[in-house]
Structure 1
Amino acid sequence: MSFLSVRTSFALALLSAGTLPAQNAAPVTPATAWDPQQTLRTETFVRPPANIERMIMAPRVDISFTSQSPDGRWFLRTSGTDRGDIRAYGAPHIWLGGLQIDTRANRARSVTTSTRTGLTLVAPQSGAARTIQVPARATISSPVWSPRGTHVAFIANFPSASYAYVADVATGRSTRLSERPLLATLVTDLDFTADGRHVVAVLVPTSRGPEPQHGADGIEDGPQVRLTESRAVPQPVHFSLLQDPHDKALLTYHTTGQVALIDVRSKAVKPVGAPTMVRALDAAPDGRYLRVTRMAEPFSYLVPVSSFGAVQELWDATGKVVAVLSTTTTREGRDADFGAAMRTVSSDTGKRNVQWNPIGPGLIYLQNVPAAGAPVPSGTRNGSEGGASARTAGMAPVQVRAPRGQLVLWKAPFGPNDTTVLYQGGPQLSAAMYSLDSTTLFVSDSGAVIAVRVKNPADRYNLGRNVSLPSLQRAFGDGAAPRGSSDSTAGQLLTRRVGNASYVLLAKDGKQVAVSGTRVPGANWATQAPRPWLDRLDLTTKTRTRLMDSPADAYEEFVAALDADVTQFLVTRESRTTIPDAWLRTAGTSDAKQLTKNVDVGPEVSGAIFKRIKVTRPRDGTSYWTDVTLPRDWKPGQKLPGIIWFYPREYTSATDYERSRWNTNINAFPTVPSARPASSMQLWAAAGYALIQPDIPIYGSAGRMNDNYTRDLEENLDAVLDAVVDSGFVDRDKMGIGGHSYGAFSTVNAMTLMPNFKAGIAGDGMYNRTLTPFGFQSERRNFFEAKDTYLDMSPFLRADKMSGALLLYHAWEDQNQGTAPMSSTRMYAALQGLGKPAALYMYPYEDHSVATYASDLDLWARWVAWMDIHVKHGAKVGAVKAMVP
């Protein structure tokens, strides 16, 4: 039986047995009768002490203003619960090469688990709000504005199907576009044509046959077959891969859908082409052509679906392929997950950044071409540096210049001679974007942004390297300020999304744009906060006018402009003592109107006592920082039980480490997030503990930092313990430790290297590095190149040295690379065999971070119970045997 079948059968068996309570069912252990030992033994979901449950369950105020209408007037806001319902996550689903599919409803599991149930329009200038009608008993996903802002399309998800809906913005009424259900396995959103007349969607094919089976009558018809063919394919460990030809057939079946144009008014459905495995869709403004990205065979047993090959094609309205725009092959090996984004732009001569022309008919794209008069010899890449000498067999050296980048317009009928070069630039031409009024083109060329007038291309304005366009290349230094930079002028042009394109906001006079950025304090980060700012920039003179500057004692961040002149804009404000809220500001004045009234759901956290101390380890004098959060009623001289929660990181030098702190925001409000438990650690202070969050830098030369991992880990933690004990915060004899993922791995390492911890918590970690033989985290050497390091970093091999009581937890469906659930079950088996105090909790239907209220509450209940017994109240280590049968 395949992995897929085993997992599905296990999940279905649990559901049919009825062992999982509903999300809102009464807790097995009521918070009013908190019993830590009973909590640890209970085999159904439990809940933590009442104050922690209250902070987790309290609804948050939505202060976001993100989905803006094309005219800037309205903002679309979804509503629903912050966490998921275990019943939705437990709905039957299968895994196919990392793709989670709800087979009953023909959609990705992520669509099934949506928690959004309402849609509202909010107008910040007038304060008006308008409710969008949504179908009863459905969840909502992927709402999108029509290009003119007159309609909103969204997906309504019912238990057995998802449908396309469209709402009229003026009335708030919505209607189903088609009775045919969507196929939302790969394409999980909707799109409008640029004229707003049609919605583009992928539907379940009408001629779809029965679902393939794993052999006749579901009986496997042979073994799984693998041949290396002597190919070296190093790769990380994946949770889910295709297993056999039956899995391949299932993947084809569940991803093959019918592309269709649906008329918004008449609801007429026009199929386009034959059903195919559609990954992405983008229709031309008039709906006469479509860009279609298809998943391509052959499939692989070595990498997930996300690394499979694809073909991007241009179709006409009948589905005929007019042109092939790009082709990518299946990416196997270590670089599989980086994909095409990591290619060097200068060496890429294919069509890049293909999009429909935002200001007229046709497509536009970027492309590099060899420089004129520069012959490129056979075997030489176009990306050779300018002036470099190239030599091939039997040829004299040939001077090769760098290729030139160009922006190309390609019009119907999209033949080889239907192109026009709109802009020529350097080899690092990486992005192009028009202004919202269509008068000006902005390009990112070799790190600088250049504005070009559409009607007079010779009229150009170089805005310099401290201004950038939003683009993928920003991550690789495309004109953006370096991470941690204190440059006060580096920023990004303001843009607005309309349909499938983003446009630069250009003022009505055609001369001014707006730029937003953040001034980082650099080495002064411990006493000064980052300060976001907003400038108006004149294209012709490059002079700037400051529109917004965050004060030194608060954090004010730009959100959105309401008009192209940026006369009014939205910000959020917060400080260490003021909860974040959204405000409407008027440029050039101090006028501000508060738009939201946020509520502090965790006064025990926001009112906690915060300390930041510098720790120095004795051996070499290396210093690093540690944050300590104490209960709000703590008094000097009171020694508390302590919990270290941490996540080590690797650095080549102390300077490198210190720069990593430069973006720390000391003016952030200490709120309790609605995110996963592992990011809500301040709740420990509400449970009566001193929470200690140290930086644990691991130092070494590039590529070899992990050779010092166990030494640095032990020395750093030892110095942290001395510092917090000497500061009078904690009792050395009442210390716990914990972490998630790599922090879990490091927690177990610490507990097998040091005798200082009474208890530990380790979740979703990997404890045996021989199970990740081709790299992990920042380690790029494989096991066979750095065997001693891999073995030294594997706490499983030191299980007999475990010094405290260890609580392990892991998600059944942890798809994070290298943290397979088997790691926790094997670690627990070793501790059980050695008679060590331990517990293991495996969470159904969850991924690398829990997403449901049931699991969230359960985790905190067991965490607090574990630490209360073993740390706070100092139970003898052997007591765990009586608690966990």
Structure 2
Amino acid sequence: MPYEMPPKALADVIDAPLTPGISLDPSHTYLLLMHRPGYPPIEDVARPELRLAGLRIDPKNNGQSRVSHYDGLTLKRVDNGHEEDVKGLPDGARIGQGHWSPDGSHFAFSVTGATGIALWICEVATGVARPIDGIALNCIWGTPLVWLPDSSGLMVRTISDDRGALPEVSTIPDGPVIQENIAQTAPSRTYQDLLKNAHDEATFEYYCMTQVVCAGLDGTIEKLGMPDLICRSEPSPDGQFLLVETMHRPFSYLVPSYRFPVRVEIWDRSGNVVHELFDLPLAESVPIAFDAVPDGPRGFGWRADVLATVTWVTAQDGGDPSVDVEVRDKMFALCAPFDAEPVEVMALSMRYVGRSWGSGNLALVSERWWKTRRVRTWQISPDGKTEPKVLFDRSWEDRYNDPGMPLLKRNAAGRRVLQTDEDERCLFLVGDGASPEGDRPFLDRYDLNTQESTRLMHSEPPFYERPVAMLDVQRQIVLMGRESVQEPTNYFLRDLSGDDLKQVTNFTHPLPHLKDVQKELIIYQREDGVQLTGTLYLPPGYKTEDGPLPLVMWAYPREFKSADAAGQVKDSPHRFVRVSPLSPLPLLASGYAVLDGPTMPIIGEGDQEANDTYVEQLTASAKAAVDEVVRRGVADPKRICVGGHSYGAFMTANLLAHTDLFCCGIARSGAYNRTLTPFGFQAEERSIWEAPEVYTAMSPFMHADKIKAPLLMMHGEADNNSGTFPMQSERFYNALKGHGVTCRLVMLPHESHGYRARESLMQMLWEMVTWLDQYAKGE
């Protein structure tokens, strides 16, 4: 069947202009505006694609096959707003993310062509872009370029000139494909796009074969080392060394490439191996628990504030959170010339999750533990002059007491380090500012000695403002993103000392016909007393006296350890109504009310497992939401549809199986049979053999005979999300059909877990509004 087109008001949502991305230069002089094209046509999404070891590869250009691009660049001065389009770009350019040189004089980016990906440079002073000849980027592993600290050029990963011919597919097998496990416990999630045979292995090696090159702005190109399966090559802050990670055999048919063996080395600027740090083995046996990590070292990186010191973390419990130990992780450092023993920087009792460098006297290290939702942030002295000190120790579920994240800045080498005042006494923290009134972002000055915060800025209604960067600490000049319900995000300079505000960008509303959509953050209670929230949207011009409307309730359940945290208000009533095609909001243009994101908390306090009462809590939350919109008089109780994407689709099927609250359902890209995800799913850590009753109770496939309301299902034929194989929707459809349920299954060609092609999005909205018009409006 050909693709369908929805009504024009819905199609306009897909064809609306997209807001440019922005990137601030290191000197805070320019914003780089990166213009987004419309959604790609199906012929672009349908390009040939290889699926190897968890990667999706475009064989024509040796890059990732499902990446977004920009189609134009503009340089805009921050001080006066003057802007100028970058010149010299090729027609129809598919442009990658811009990367500023440390001194801000240039930025680099990729340009994807039909048969390759080129490296381009733009000189800011002239606004003219040019290619670096002789460079064919290998973008298999993402961004393959890093600036040298002196801004003279870049270290890039390129396609090897001598990788040979592409392995040919043989129609005659050499023998059987054999996998074997000898008494080793090695559970794994249901990964997709894995290697399957020797030809896959050879093809994977062919496309991943990489040559590291130093590309100078003067056009010089210097090859470093030998071609190999190099997935990372990062210069040290002084530019004299490279941290190189190289994948190697044996590969696996059970796990993606990020679990393959990796050799970690330090090279000099000529490509010679100075020191082999580690050769990490294949990681097939990592436990499925959320605090599990591979045994051995991980998390390699340069310390950003010194010349050449590499750091990493090593698990002390074998990577297994079930092992009872006092120390879970240790952080180590090794400085040039890398011939001494590593120095222990810190020992952690929970699992390491991140670090931010500042100076020899200041760095932040964070650890967390999934089971308790606890997160702790330490202030340390990397040079060992003072003892570590706890700054924050809290539950990450508790948004009301989140102190915020530290602002970072770029140092002279272009590395991100902590933004501090001149004497390193204070950090600057940016947070969501969650509160019973909704999110009100803030900027605080945090005194490291007293551990007290001073509020410098707090978003005030009716706007939603969030700091982006501190441009001048002394003068307290901040770049802000600012929006309101009817105004899209624009960027402003705010003088915190005088509260002066100066507009930098002027992006306009992309959908004027939906500008007057009514938005309200609503708060209500579940029958067990848990507070719930959701965002209610009503069509432009709607009045209560017009009577109740058909309503779409679109949700996504989440797990919590605390009922108090689950009841905290989410989001802000003052954010711009951003009508994405993948959200339910386009349906407002067809006269539907929408309750978006009604909270569906699944709570398991203390030692309780949340999913043990999944169905009971889910249905209670749904009933509370329905009761609230009916009480308000905006929804007809006989014309409420429930829907969701991914885990929200799973939720939708369960609500239709266990309640009679809804007239119909819409489920996109879901999983419905948990026996097909036996080693855990979503936030469930237990296997099906540990909790068989839970898996059965939560699987709507097992309750297909209870579903009576019509259900529309959609799924991308190329869904690569772990657990949501397209087979899930196909088999659930067959089960429903076998029990006489009114149902429809739409498989979208070439689409993954999220849909991208313009034609697919048009079809999706046509399906949704047609289904609703028939089963909710009754037309």
TM-score range relative to shorter protein: 0.7 to 0.9
One-letter amino acid of the structure 1 residue matched with residue 615 of structure 2: T
Distance 2:683 2:148 in 1: 43
Distance 1:101 1:283, change over 3 A: same
Residue number in structure 2 paired with 1:18: none
Residue number in structure 1 paired with 2:592: 689
2:569 is aligned with 1:666: no
Residue number in structure 2 paired with 1:628: 536
Distance 1:432 1:710, change over 3 A: closer
Q: Cα deviation per residue 1:220-249 (whole Å; 9 max; x = unaligned)?
A: 444332334343322221221111111111
**Residues 836-845 or 94-103, more deviating:** 836-845
Residue number in structure 2 paired with 1:592: 501
Distance 2:303 2:402 in 1: 35
Residue number in structure 1 paired with 2:745: 840
Q: CA deviation at 1:162?
A: 0.8
Equivalence map 1:92-107=2 (5 Å): 92-107=48-63
Q: Is the contact between residue 606 and residue 669 of structure 1 (CA under 8 Å) also seen in structure 2? A: no
SS at match of 2:275: strand
Q: Is the contact between residue 191 and residue 199 of structure 1 (CA under 8 Å) also seen in structure 2? A: yes
Q: Cα deviation per residue 1:347-378 (whole Å; 9 max; x = unaligned)?
A: x8x69653166454x334367999xxxxxxxx
Q: CA deviation at 1:868?
A: 0.5
- TM-score, structure 1 as length reference: 0.78
**Residues 203-212 or 548-557, more deviating:** 548-557
Q: CA deviation at 1:294?
A: 0.7
Query: Which of these residues, 1, 4, 8, is aligned with residue 50 of structure 1?
Result: 8
**Percent identity of the aligned residues?**
29
One-letter amino acid of the structure 1 residue matched with residue 675 of structure 2: T
One-letter amino acid of the structure 2 residue matched with residue 416 of structure 1: A
Q: CA deviation at 1:303?
A: 0.8
**Residues 149-158 or 188-197, more deviating:** 188-197
Q: CA deviation at 1:334?
A: 5.9
Distance 2:414 2:293 in 1: 20
Distance 1:205 1:698, change over 3 A: closer
Residue number in structure 2 paired with 1:325: 277
Residue number in structure 1 paired with 2:260: 308
Distance 1:230 1:205, change over 3 A: same
Distance 1:556 1:699, change over 3 A: closer
Query: Which of these residues, 239, 246, 271, is aligned with residue 199 of structure 2?
Result: 246
One-letter amino acid of the structure 2 residue matched with residue 207 of structure 1: D
2:696 is aligned with 1:783: no
Distance 1:337 1:151, change over 3 A: farther
Q: CA deviation at 1:491?
A: 4.9
Distance 1:513 1:258 in 2: 43
Q: CA deviation at 1:766?
A: 1.0
SS at match of 1:227: coil
Distance 2:615 2:593 in 1: 25
Q: Is the contact between residue 529 and residue 664 of structure 1 (CA under 8 Å) also seen in structure 2? A: yes
Query: Which of these residues, 344, 354, 359, is aligned with residue 301 of structure 2?
Result: 354
Residue number in structure 1 paired with 2:161: 206
- TM-score, structure 2 as length reference: 0.88
Equivalence map 1:433-832=2 (5 Å): 433-434=357-358, 441-444=361-364, 465-466=390-391, 482-487=396-401, 491-496=405-410, 501-507=415-421, 510=423, 513-518=426-431, 520=433, 522=435, 525=436, 528-536=437-445, 546-602=455-511, 605-611=514-520, 613-616=522-525, 620=528, 624-637=532-545, 638-658=547-567, 661-673=568-580, 677=582, 680-693=583-596, 694-700=598-604, 702=607, 704-832=609-737
Q: Is the contact between residue 288 and residue 680 of structure 2 (CA under 8 Å) also seen in structure 1? A: no
**Residues 187-196 or 246-255, more deviating:** 187-196
Q: CA deviation at 1:261?
A: 1.4
Q: CA deviation at 1:584?
A: 1.1
Distance 1:495 1:646 in 2: 37
SS at match of 1:273: strand
SS at match of 1:194: coil
**Residues 683-692 or 244-253, more deviating:** 683-692
Distance 1:668 1:170, change over 3 A: same
Point out the structure with max Rg over C-alpha: 1
**Residues 169-178 or 250-259, more deviating:** 169-178
Query: Which of these residues, 209, 212, 216, is aligned with residue 263 of structure 1?
Result: 216
Q: Cα deviation per residue 1:582-609 (whole Å; 9 max; x = unaligned)?
A: 1112231122111222322345655333
SS at match of 2:226: coil
Q: CA deviation at 1:666?
A: 2.6
Equivalence map 1:118-517=2 (5 Å): 118-133=72-87, 134-215=89-170, 218-265=171-218, 267-284=219-236, 288-333=240-285, 335=287, 354-355=301-302, 358-360=305-307, 362-365=308-311, 385=326, 410-412=335-337, 414-416=338-340, 431=355, 433-434=357-358, 441-444=361-364, 465-466=390-391, 482-487=396-401, 491-496=405-410, 501-507=415-421, 510=423, 513-517=426-430
Distance 2:488 2:472 in 1: 27
SS at match of 1:116: coil
Distance 1:47 1:200 in 2: 46
Q: Is the contact between residue 434 and residue 504 of structure 1 (CA under 8 Å) also seen in structure 2? A: yes
SS at match of 2:629: helix
SS at match of 1:691: strand
Q: Is the contact between residue 102 and residue 147 of structure 2 (CA under 8 Å) also seen in structure 1? A: yes
Distance 1:182 1:432 in 2: 30
Distance 2:324 2:688 in 1: 34
Residue number in structure 1 paired with 2:372: none
SS at match of 1:207: coil
* Unmatched tracts of structure 1, length 5 or more: 1-42, 371-381, 387-401, 467-477, 875-885
Q: Is the contact between residue 641 and residue 689 of structure 1 (CA under 8 Å) also seen in structure 2? A: yes
One-letter amino acid of the structure 2 residue matched with residue 518 of structure 1: G
SS at match of 1:855: helix
Distance 2:429 2:144 in 1: 29
Distance 1:825 1:322 in 2: 54
Q: Cα deviation per residue 1:623-665 (whole Å; 9 max; x = unaligned)?
A: 534543222333335122222222223344532421xx34432
SS at match of 1:531: coil
One-letter amino acid of the structure 2 residue matched with residue 295 of structure 1: M
Q: Is the contact between residue 255 and residue 277 of structure 1 (CA under 8 Å) also seen in structure 2? A: yes
Distance 1:623 1:773 in 2: 33
Distance 2:329 2:237 in 1: 32
Q: CA deviation at 1:186?
A: 2.0
Distance 1:543 1:245 in 2: 60
Distance 2:475 2:728 in 1: 54
One-letter amino acid of the structure 1 residue matched with residue 440 of structure 2: R
One-letter amino acid of the structure 1 residue matched with residue 602 of structure 2: I
SS at match of 1:650: strand
Q: Is the contact between residue 72 and residue 563 of structure 1 (CA under 8 Å) also seen in structure 2? A: no
Distance 1:519 1:752 in 2: 37
Distance 1:728 1:427, change over 3 A: closer
Q: CA deviation at 1:849?
A: 1.0
Q: Is the contact between residue 644 and residue 738 of structure 1 (CA under 8 Å) also seen in structure 2? A: yes
Distance 1:488 1:783 in 2: 35
Distance 2:657 2:365 in 1: 53
One-letter amino acid of the structure 1 residue matched with residue 722 of structure 2: Q
Q: Is the contact between residue 703 and residue 780 of structure 1 (CA under 8 Å) also seen in structure 2? A: no
Distance 1:742 1:858 in 2: 22
Q: Is the contact between residue 265 and residue 278 of structure 2 (CA under 8 Å) also seen in structure 1? A: yes
2:22 is aligned with 1:75: no
How many residues end up aligned between the 2 structures?
A: 758
Q: CA deviation at 1:251?
A: 0.9
Distance 1:758 1:453 in 2: 60
Residue number in structure 1 paired with 2:319: none
SS at match of 1:45: coil
Q: CA deviation at 1:302?
A: 0.8
Q: CA deviation at 1:563?
A: 3.3
